[in-house]
Chain A
């Protein structure tokens, strides 16, 4: 390993010496099950998996800068907005495969097969069991209501999960409606947006605010923890599936996804890898590793997620992605840092 890394230095062109039996992956996912997954793939196919992981935005810039000489075969990222940005940058090539079309339902893949969803995650509302009656909770939209003044906890708008949530609300309510909503939520903040999703859940439990917005798997992670302070959070914080009423559109669901890079040096291996990622076997490893929902309907949903049954919002990922810059402008204007 070390010798090979040094080879990269003394023989800069070593990177260009393509090995037939390998696939090169740039990924923005770093969840516990992912390494196990790559090992499984090598075991099944004999194809070595080379990985660079980092922030999705930055990796996308790297692929763009490397241009047609990029060694990347596959780009994996964790948000619909980012998939859309990558597609706009023209870095994806269509991956033609019957297997992929069978495995991934149409709403979770690009119409021209430029990218495929791998897992789903829901952005849900969490509340203090002590201070909030879930009867009073209804929709994301309702969080802008003055009744929640000084009670809402949510992270910074620099986070892509919030950007996608607002992207969905722009699609539902139009830009003006979305700006009014964001301004209303800002007025209701219990504190300046800070920390991460887990931090919001802990803050609800500690009593700093009453209602938080977070991705579902952070809550599940605390459920599965063996630390007493984590379990205390779960004891004090309830989970609420928003927008489940008639005509409310359903809860916001986002995807992580992957696509084949244009000019990939190993296109066949790349398609095999995508097929593997969406196969029931890999889907179950992925879903278990981070308590996410598999996109392949034939994959078993992890036991811990069995109670998570809810209506999903069907705004296409591409629309959410397209609204991303507008969402940030709105956040800037209403002072949601």
Chain B
């Protein structure tokens, strides 16, 4: 929190050092009062930029430190494991990771874009309900989806057993798609992760000028052509950002791909580190994973193109929705309903069924305690991450250039790194600082095994979500507003507080909610670095599931979904009300 006070304080003491020339237009205070409110009438202080930039860079380095520590360790040398990996499994890891990221990205991109378009442009029964239901899969952790579907569609699962019972066919006398496969993983990831794309594209469609779409229609373009030639190009940055999030989320996943029996970089890192006992080779694999992530980032930047869109006002107009013929209405309904069914309703049903069958209900007190722990962690991380994201993305706006942009990108690295790897990075760093602080002070000042360590890991892992959201909010605010503010004498911090923050309220809230939901679902890092006797909902699911008692994990699983629903519902309300409040 202290970082927030810093930018302004040094300025205050330094302001009287400014050269006379820069101070001169402050001149007679009374003359300024005629065109600026009292509080805005402050001299421009160029050095605020520098201080903010330095703080931003230090912050980015600290956030990325766990990733950098791991990625830097290949320099430590080699123990021959890498040669073994290259000769045997490395090709498989690369292939599976790239295919999974690309496949899930494309799949989720298609589902998200299509549903966002249909919801935004057409009128059909059930539209208002589906608009928010489409966000529901956000509350569903991928490892739960994986468990529910593999259990359900597996050879010995209820569906195939039923098929065999009905048809009388024997074990290998019929064909059924193999759910535990790369294809199965891509399919299900597409249907759980599409809300990222949907959320961003929907917001983008809401912001698009109606006139532009109407103009396109007046000029004789069909709806399909309007979609292709006008709406899609305008949505491209949002679509690219959404797809990149999905790709990175799939790259970082451990639990779900493990269920799907797909070997990726993440499962490889785990196996190399702990099984082969080679932290060096594991770090080299992590560096390889970082390479794939870099591809994703470059893809995202390239597909955004050079286009910049600004809105000089956040006033928007309710879109007139196109009416459809009856069969098309039914079609539109199912386009939006099927993703909800696959990504949320079916797995929910399977979990409810498992929970009732198991008859295992944790005591209310226990569940409340787990839920409370989860909520406290998620809220703290959400607040901190928005705050840090504001600093970093504001830097990019204030001091555009390689340094500020690199800082923001470096702080985003952690998103595609598996939680267990980040956790070990955090442990290593805190091990050093703990030892150093004990050496300096006579008293032990230990961060390892505290909630602070957990928050550190979460921020490293999820900061990119809030940076992305806040940044895209900031870029839509026209620079002319900043210029106007500066002309009126407001400093950078003043502009942030008085102009940007009010305009960014929705973006920051969305960022906080996204981070909240992710932290709620996070498992591997929580498992490794939490304090004693500190169970969260996700941890409790793991405790049951790791011992092959999946049915018993269904009750805490339902709780996690329930707690995650609240922020998801707020998100969707925000989205729908933005139009109505615009006028």
Interface residues of A (CB under 8 A from B): 1-2, 5-6, 8-9, 12-16, 24, 30-31, 50-55, 57-59, 61-62, 65-67, 69-71, 85, 156, 158, 160, 163, 191-199, 202-203, 205-208, 218, 221, 227, 324-325, 328-329, 332-333, 337
Q: Are A337 and B434 in contact (CB under 8 A)?
A: no
Encode B127-170 as 1/0 by CB contact (under 8 A) with A.
00000000000000000000000100011100011001000001
A12 touches B369 (CB 8 A): no
Q: Do the beta carbons of A325 and B528 come within 8 Å of each other?
A: no
Interface of B is mostly: helix
- Given known pairs A198-B548, A205-B156, A208-B172, the reply for A51 and B533 (CB within 8 Å) is yes
- For B276, the chain A residues whose CB sits under 8 A away are 325, 328-329
Tell whether A65 pairs with B372 under 8 Å between CB atoms, given A163-B275, A192-B261.
no
| Residue of B277, B430, B449 with most partner-chain A CB within 10 A | B449
* Residue from A58, A59, A203 with most neighbouring chain B CB atoms (10 Å): A58
CA distance A332 to B438 in the complex (A): 43
CB neighbours (8 Å) of B435 from chain A are 67, 69
**A interface footprint on B389-411 (CB within 8 Å = 1, 0 otherwise):** 00000000000000000000000
Whether B180 and A202, one on each chain, are in contact in the complex, defined by CB atoms closer than 8 angstroms, is no
Is the pair A208, B450 in contact by a Cβ cutoff of 8 Å? no
CA distance A332 to B156 in the complex (A): 28
Contacts of B271 in A (CB 8 A): 158, 328
- Supply 14 further A-B pairs (C-beta < 8 A) apart from A16-B444, A55-B528: A6-B451, A16-B443, A50-B533, A52-B449, A61-B427, A62-B448, A65-B428, A67-B435, A158-B258, A160-B275, A206-B155, A218-B548, A325-B278, A332-B88
In the complex, A221→B551 CA distance in Å?
A: 13
With A and B bound together, what is the CA distance between A54 and B276 in angstroms?
19
A276 shortest CB reach to chain B, Å: 19
B438 closest partner in A (C-beta)? A69
Q: Which of B88, B380, B424, B543 contacts A58 (CB 8 A)?
A: B424
Proximity string of chain B (344-364) to chain A, C-beta cutoff 8 Å, 1 when within and 0 when not:
000000000000010000000
- Scoring A158, A207, A329, A332 by chain B CB atoms within 10 A of each residue's CB, the highest score goes to A332
CA distance A62 to B380 in the complex (A): 23
Say whether B444 contacts A59, CB under 8 Å.
Answer: no
Q: Tell me whether A65 and B449 are in contact in the complex, defined as CB-CB below 8 angstroms, given that A13-B443, A30-B543, A195-B150 are known contacts.
A: no
- Which residues on the B side are within 8 Å of A31 (C-beta)? 547
28 contacts between A and B (CB under 8 A): A1-B369, A8-B450, A8-B452, A16-B444, A24-B532, A30-B547, A50-B532, A55-B528, A57-B275, A58-B524, A66-B427, A66-B449, A69-B431, A69-B435, A69-B446, A158-B258, A158-B271, A160-B275, A194-B180, A205-B156, A206-B155, A206-B171, A208-B172, A325-B276, A328-B271, A332-B84, A332-B85, A337-B261
Q: Which residues of B contact A5 (CB under 8 A)?
A: 373, 376, 451, 531, 534
Kindly identify which residue among B277, B424, B534 contacts A65, using a CB–CB cutoff of 8 Å.
B424
Q: How far is the CB of A337 from chain B (nearest CB, A)?
A: 6
